[in-house]
Structure formats: C-alpha cells, structure tokens
A and B are shown apart, each in its own frame.
Chain A
Amino acid sequence: MSETALAARPTTGMLRAASPWLGAIVLVVALPFVFSDSSAITIMNQMAITIVFALSYNMLLGQGGMLSFGHAVYMGLGGFMAMHMMGWIEEDGLPIPLPLLPLFAGLFGLACAAVIGTFSTRRAGTGFAMISLGIGELIAACSIIIVAFFGGEEGISGDRTMGPPVFGVEWFTSGEVYWIISGWMLLSALLMYLFSRTPVGRMANAVRDNPERAEFLGYSARWVRYISFCASGFFAGIAGGLFAINYEILTEENLNLATSGAILLMTFLGGVGFFAGPIIGAIVFTLLQTVLSLQTELWALYVGALFVVTVMFFPGGLTGLLTIHIMPWRLGRLSELMIPYAKTLLPGAIGVLGFCGFLEILFHARHAAAGDHEMILFWITFDTHGPLPWIITAVVAGAGYWLARRNAPELKAALDHASAPDRMP
C-alpha cells in the first residue's frame, strides 16, 4: 500500500498491522479445543516457551548482530528465581498469584543481563561470542558449586498450586497452565516486535550492519548493544519463568551450553532475518524433538543434518524459503511452480527417505539386541542382516539425490522467472 493511501485511511493500515496478531490470538485460543489430549497440550506448552526463548535470542543474533553461545544462562537464571519464588509462596505465603511469576523471572533475567552486559557487549563479533561462551560455562559450573541457589545436581523443584487461586483456578493441570504460558507468549512476542520498531530497536539493526557508521550518527554502538542485550535477557527470563511454571523443576541442564546451542540452532533454522523466523524455528524444532523422537532414536542426527543443510543452502532459514514464494504468489504465478517442484522435491523427498532408511537399518544392525534381525520400516518387515534392504535403500537414496540435483536448476529458474515483476509476455 502506498504512503498516501495509508495516510488517507489510517484505520485500514492499523487493521493490516494488527491482523497477524489477531490471527495469532484466535489460533492460540482455538488450539487447545482442536488438540485437547494432554500430550498435545504438553507439546504446545513447550512450543510456546521455546518461542519466547527463541525470539529473545533473535533480538541478539538477528536484530543486534550478536552471536551468543550462552543465552540459556538468562532463561535458566530467570527460571531458578521463579522456582525459589514458588517455594516462598508455598512456605512463607508470599501473596503472588502464579500468572505474575514470569514477570519477576524476567526482571531477574534483566538484572543478570544488566550486570554481565556491562563487559560482554563492549565488542560484537568474536569477542562477544567468546565472552558469552565463557559466561555460559561459568554459570553452568556455578550451578554445582552454589547449591543454595541452583540446588546442585538434582536442581530445584516446587509446587505451582500453592499460591492464591486466580478466579478459582489453582493450576493443577497443564491445560490450565496453557493459558498462562500462551498469554505470556503473545504478550512477549508483541512487545519484542514493538521493541524492534523503536528508536533503539532500529539502531540495533544499524549497529548490526555497520557499528562504525552508527557512531558517526551520534549513537554509541556499545550502549545500543547493551540495551538490546538487557531487553533480550528480560524476555529470556520470562521464558525461564514459564518453564518453571510448566515443569516445576529446574536443573543445570536449563542453563548449560547444550541448551544455548539448541536455541541458536532452532533460531537459525527458522531464519534470523525475519521476526517470524524464530517462531517457525521453535515450532518445527519442538515438533521434531517431541514427535520425531518417538519414531526414531536417530532424531538428533536428522535435526543436525537439517541444520547443516539449512546453513549451507538456505541461509534465510525456513522463513526465507517461504518468503521467496511471496512474489510469485502476489503475481498469481504459484501454479507455474507446481511441475518444477514435483520434479525436484518428489525425488528429493524419496532420496531423503531412502537415506534415512539406510541409516535406520545400519543403526538396527549395529545396536539391536543380539539375534534380533527383524526390523519394521515403512510397514515392511525384513531381515537387517541380509544384503537386499541395504542395496535397495542405498539405490533409492542415490537415485533420488541424483534426480533432485539434476532438476534443481530448473526449479530455481522457474522461481526466478515467476518472481520477475515485468517480464516479456
């Protein structure tokens, strides 16, 4: 929409800006009625917590250009604080209703980020990454040393139902907790989005692109990074508070490097260049983690491979892949892409399945109980110690890969052709 049209009809512009958020609210409200069994609710709770965490991470990576290897620290610290407060509510009768707990966890995350940020945001790039790694190790090590706060190896656990009831709700079930978590998720996402539209949020982009130029426009690059860092710590802390409410336990695992690595992975998978990127990354990653892990023990291998492929071939992440279709869609040319897609994606998908089948057979042959030669894969029962399954999966993988690779340039050309705004008829 052009500027003049916006000026003429400001309400239309506001409606357009608000529509994704209204859609999100409707979705969040509708989901528990569509997927009402408890395992689905569990997954959705986990997803919402991860979305807040991933969005807070992207405030650093995507918007501020700061690669952190220790972001779990702020979520973990916020979560531990929330667990302690839950304990104070239970034992000392601290009159804080459960839905407000994430706010205090966020403030604690903010306070920790405000201290650590004073020295870690001095530089971006390698310096920042290294310090974040060091802090991550340091806090993870502290969790075993400072037992009073971190609870040692067994962590800190509590009971969320001890606080004052809110409208009679005492938060016994994960279905009730869903409303706290999804409400905070929506609020946090909105606030983080609005942050990116403020002066300091815009300057975070400028400092990411060119810190030196930003300094010659009157802004201290370090101070801009520091404010982004504190805001990111606040929202990570909120995620930690939500985690504490959902699981009622925090351990060293919540602030160690593995968790920090996972958030980097899923944010990148979703796409760091887009606000929605971390949301999509968190949803996909949580689904893989929960659903795929029920199907196969090798799920982490597949997620790792997906990450490597994304970094190598789709630096825009999954969201980047989606956005390249916006132009053809607007021009009404999506149908042109059907055949090239079928020619590339179909053999590609079959090849990937063949490759996964090969890996699964290998894993079964090496790790199944002695004498157990029988395996069921894709509803077919066969003997993993015979040569035939190996040959078939290898051939399928190879042929699929070869075909997909052969047809990929055609797909790319079709995409370019469909995206060109003014082409010859």
Chain B
Amino acid sequence: MSAALELVGVHKAFGRAEIIRGVDLSIGKGERHAVIGPNGAGKSTLFNLITGRFPVTSGVVRLHGSDVTGLAPYQINRRGLSRSFQITNIFPRMSVFENVRCALLWPRGYRYAFWRLLDRERALTDAADEILDQLNLTKRRDLPAGVLSYAEQRALEIGITIAGGADVILLDEPTAGMSHSETDYIVGLIRQVTIGKTLIMVEHDMGVVFGLADRISVLVYGQIIATGTPEEVRANAAVQEAYLGAALEEDT
C-alpha cells in the first residue's frame, strides 16, 4: 500500500538559514499523525512545504504516490489535500454559510462556471447546511464570519478545511489559544470529521496529541528525531532530552 503522504529528503532554506534540514516521513492511509516539537523547530514551515505555500529547496513530496513537489496550492488541493491555518484564515466579510459553500464548490465540480446559479443548487445548500450543523454553527449561518468568537472561527476554519471531502487533512495547531472546554469541543469535532481520513496535525497541547494521534513525529531544528506510536515516543530518550520532558511537565 502506498503512503497517503510521503516526504523524501525535504530541505528548505530561507537565504542561508536552513529551516528544514532533510525530513523523511511516510504517513499511511487513515493514520492520525501528529508533528510536535519546540517553538521554531519548523513545524509550520513543513506544512507550508507540503501544501505548496512555499517551494521546497530540495527533496520530493508525494501525495498518494504521485509527485506534487512544485505544484501550486490549488493544484495540490485538487488532488485531495486540504489544510487549516495556525492563524485563522477565513473569508471575514462573507457569511458563515458562504464560507462553507465556497469550500464545497471546487470538489463538487462547479469550477469556474458563470452559467449556473448557486442559490438554485439545492444539494449544495443542503450539504453546506449539514456541515454547519456538524460544526454547531447553524445559528450563526448568516452572520459575517469576521464577527464570530475566536473558538467559532476556529471551528469554521476546520469546517472549511474538511468541507470539500479531501482525504488528507493537515491541521496547524487547531486548539491554539483555546480554553479547556473549547479544546474539548474542537477535539471532538476533529475526531468526528476525520473518520476514515488521513490526518496530520501540528499541536502543542500534549493532551490533545496523545489522545488523538496514532503516531507522532518529533521535529527539532528542522529534523525528525523520532517517529512512532505515542508510547514509543514517550519512552524515547532523545525525545525526552530534546523536548518532551519539559513539555510533559509543563502540561501536567
């Protein structure tokens, strides 16, 4: 079985500063994979390389076995990879409903059509409303997305990410800046919407990581120092030394 997502020898340098220094990673279909590591380790940069936001300096990224290195974000998205952002990245002036509907358009084959009226597409409207229901945002349906609370915007962000039905989903710190109850809500949501999908997430909250992930990779200074099940990673001496000891103490 080919991996859902595979990175081979990925390097990224900004000028002379090497941020990602040779990452090899293989994530299987249906796996929930977490990338952890200290601040500045290059986790978000890694996401940006996978999704085509930044070009890689060298190395190869494969999605379902096909090479996607150097493709534009929209081309990678069309091949079934979707992502969320660490800093909420929605369409603030459009309604919550419109936000979700926009995420459904391309995957449902509407493309650049200027001869179809969206308000007449009953199935599309129903699908968007169903996602809003899943996100618990039905009451906010017609409000501009920019006026939602922080947690609601984060939920919408995840909703937009999963709406199109992509089978590889990247979430960048989905619970950043949230209270405990909000975190529980988001984790429940992630669990629910990623059933049967491949999930890769960057997360600082160790409770969330160890609760959700099947496997964990630890990224330190642009290199992966360990990959394995939560138990293996927890027991790994190098990880203990570099990162996890401090992080786990902090968390408990």
Q: Is the CB of B114 within 8 A of A198?
A: yes
Residue of B nearest to A230 (CB): B114
How distant is B82 from chain A, measured CB to nearest CB, in Å?
7
Query: Would you call B83 and A209 a contact (CB within 8 A)?
Result: no
Contact of B113 among A198, A206, A208, A220 (CB under 8 A): A198
Task: For residue B121, give the distance in angstroms from its CB to the closest CB of chain A.
Answer: 9
Known: A215-B77, A220-B72. A202 touches B102 (CB 8 A): yes
**Residue interface bits A219-233, CB-to-B below 8 A is 1, else 0:** 110011001000100
- A194 contact set on B, CB distance < 8 A: 117
Q: Check B90 against A227 for contact (C-beta < 8 Å).
A: no
B211 to chain A, nearest CB (A): 27
Chain B residues, CB < 8 A from A197? 117-119
- Contacting A at CB under 8 A, from B105-134, are 105-107, 110-119, 129
- Chain A residues with CB under 8 A of B83: 216
Query: With A198-B118, A199-B111, A209-B92 given, is the CB distance from A218 to B98 under 8 Å?
Result: no
Q: Say yes or no for B198: interface residue by CB 8 A criterion.
A: no
Name the one of A200, A206, A215 contacting B94, with C-beta atoms under 8 angstroms. Answer: A206
- For A105, the chain B residues whose CB sits under 8 A away are none
Partner of A209, one of B53, B93, B112: B93
- Residues from chain A with Cβ under 8 Å of B164 in the complex: 217-218
Tell me whether A200 and B112 are in contact in the complex, defined as CB-CB below 8 angstroms, given that A206-B91, A206-B94, A215-B72 are known contacts.
Answer: yes
Q: Is A219 a contact of B74 with CB atoms below 8 Å?
A: yes
- Closest residue on chain A to residue B124 by CB atoms: A199
For A217, give its contact among B106, B111, B116 (CB under 8 Å): B106
CA distance A80 to B18 in the complex (A): 57
A227 lies within 8 A of B82 (CB): no
CB of A75, distance to nearest CB on chain B (Å): 21
Assembled-state Cα–Cα distance A218/B166 (Å)? 11
> Contacts of B53 on A, CB cut-off 8 Å?
212
Say how far B90's CB is from chain A's closest CB, in angstroms.
Answer: 7
Is residue B73 within 8 Å, beta carbon to beta carbon, of the partner chain?
yes
**Are A202 and B82 touching (Cβ within 8 A)?**
no
Whether B91 and A216, one on each chain, are in contact in the complex, defined by CB atoms closer than 8 angstroms, is: no
Bound Cα distance A105, B164 (Å): 40
Smallest CB separation, A131 vs chain B (Å): 21
A327 within 8 A of B: no
Contact of A99 with B by CB under 8 A: no
**B169 CB → nearest A CB, Å:** 12
Q: State whether B92 touches A210 (Cβ < 8 A).
A: yes
Asked if B78 is an interface residue, CB under 8 A from chain A, the answer is: yes
Question: Is the CB–CB distance between B114 and A219 below 8 Å?
Answer: no
Are B91 and A205 in contact (CB-based, < 8 A)?
A: yes
- Say if the beta carbon of A85 comes within 8 Å of chain B: no
Once bound together, how far apart are the Cα atoms of A200 and B164, in whole Å?
A: 17
Closest A residue to B84 by beta carbon equals: A216
Residue in A3, A195, A216, A231 whose beta carbon sits within 8 Å of that of B74 in the complex: A216
Residues in chain A near residue B117, CB distance under 8 A: 194, 197-198
Q: Report A-chain residues with C-beta under 8 Å of the C-beta of B216.
A: none
Q: How far is the CA of A214 from the CA of B101 in the complex (A)?
A: 12
A209 touches B91 (CB 8 A): yes
CB <8 Å contact, A202 and B160: no
Residue A238 lies at the interface, judged by CB distance under 8 Å to chain B: no
Q: Given A203-B102, A206-B94, A210-B92, A217 and B160 touching (CB < 8 A)?
A: yes
* Cβ 8 A contact of A212, one of B89, B102, B110, B111: B89
| Distance of A198 Cα from B101 Cα, bound (Å) | 12
- CB-CB < 8 A to B72: which residues of A? 215, 220
| A78 close to chain B: CB less than 8 A | no
Q: Quick check: A219 and B90 within 8 Å, CB to CB?
A: no
- State whether the Cβ of A122 lies closer than 8 Å to any Cβ in chain B: no
Q: Which residues of B contact A412 (CB under 8 A)?
A: none
Any A CB within 8 A of the CB of B103: yes
Q: Is A237 an interface residue (CB 8 A)?
A: no
Decide: B78 and A218 in contact? CB cutoff 8 A.
yes
* B114:A195 contact, CB within 8 angstroms: yes
Interface centre among B53, B82, B93 (most CB of A within 10 A): B93
Q: In the complex the two chains form, is A217's CB within 8 Å of B103's CB?
A: yes
CB distance from A17 to the nearest CB of B (A): 8
Instruction: Supply 17 A–B pairs (Cβ within 8 Å), ascending by A.
Output: A197-B117, A198-B117, A199-B105, A202-B102, A203-B112, A205-B93, A206-B91, A208-B93, A209-B93, A209-B94, A212-B73, A213-B90, A213-B91, A217-B103, A219-B105, A223-B112, A231-B114
A-B contact sample (20 more), CB < 8 A, given A220-B74, A227-B112:
A198-B115, A198-B117, A199-B114, A200-B114, A202-B98, A205-B93, A205-B94, A206-B94, A206-B98, A206-B102, A210-B92, A213-B85, A213-B90, A213-B91, A216-B51, A216-B74, A216-B83, A217-B74, A217-B160, A218-B105
Top 3 A-B residue pairs of the complex, sorted by shortest distance between their CB atoms? A218-B106, A199-B110, A209-B91
